[in-house]
Amino acid sequence: MGPQPSTALARPALRQSPHAEPTAGPAVEDAELARGLAAGDEDCLAAAYRRWSPLVHTLARRSLGDAKEAEDVTQQVFLGVWRGRRTYRPERGTVAGWIVGITRRTIADALSARTRRLDLLASAGSSLRLPDPERPEAVLDRVLVRHALSALPVPQQRVLRLAFFEDLTQPQIAERTGWPLGTVKSHARRGLNRLRGSLEQELCGS
């Protein structure tokens, strides 16, 4: 199921003149949407959301492989449309092309953020996988991580254990578990968020 609009995006669609020519409708409506957005008309934002959010969501889900992340990206894209509405220039392309450009940049940002999270996960795993005998606190670190992992839901535990302790990549984990790659990515992201929170609590309480 597609993303749900925010309060502003849920407003009624832009009304069209009943006398408009059917063949000219989309082009005229694009021009009206562009003018309305530039003027700060939330109805135009709602109309743009209804028209192009399925495309944005499809592009995001295809790139990210995760429905929840795709929903987040879709909301971020239309927030970007609203905030950057005065930067749109009709002579540079259509409204749809402008929105697709914002979508691509937002997807790239989401992928970069994911890479940073996975790099953090890999770094933490490698540092705890082989404790230095000269550094006794490394053993304690490993115990804390194992304890935090044991509190996660089983699917998240499995994905993170395979990443931490067996050096498997996400595609390799998908092959090992038989789960879709998008499912593996989702478990990794959610598990990492919970693991980070749990470790922060442990460290703050120590």
Residue 125 lies inside a defined structural domain of this protein: no
pLDDT, average across residues 130-144: 51
Q: Which of 66, 81, 113 is the last residue of a domain?
A: 113
Among 80, 113, 146, the domain-final residue is: 113
Interhelix angle 137-150/154-166, nearest 10 degrees = 150
Q: For the domain that residue 106 is a member of, what is the CATH number?
A: 1.10.1740.10
CATH number for position 179: 1.10.10.10
Q: Give the confidence band of 9 by pLDDT, cuts at 50, 70, 90.
A: very low
Residues 71-83: tens digit of each pLDDT: 989 999 999 999 9
Residue 22's pLDDT band, with cuts at 50, 70 and 90, is: very low
Best mean pLDDT range from 112-116, 132-136, 166-170: 166-170
Interatomic CA distance for residues 138 and 135, integer angstroms: 6
Whole-number pLDDT of residue 128: 43
Which residues have C-beta within 8 Å of that of residue 69, sequence separation ≥ 6?
60, 110, 114, 189
% the chain with pLDDT above 90: 20
Segment 41-56 mean pLDDT: 91
Range picked from 50-54, 192-196, 200-204 for highest mean pLDDT: 50-54
Which two structure tokens, joined as six digits, stand for 105? 């940049």
Q: How confident is the model at residue 119 (pLDDT cuts 50, 70, 90)?
A: low
Element (H, E) at 68: helix 67-83
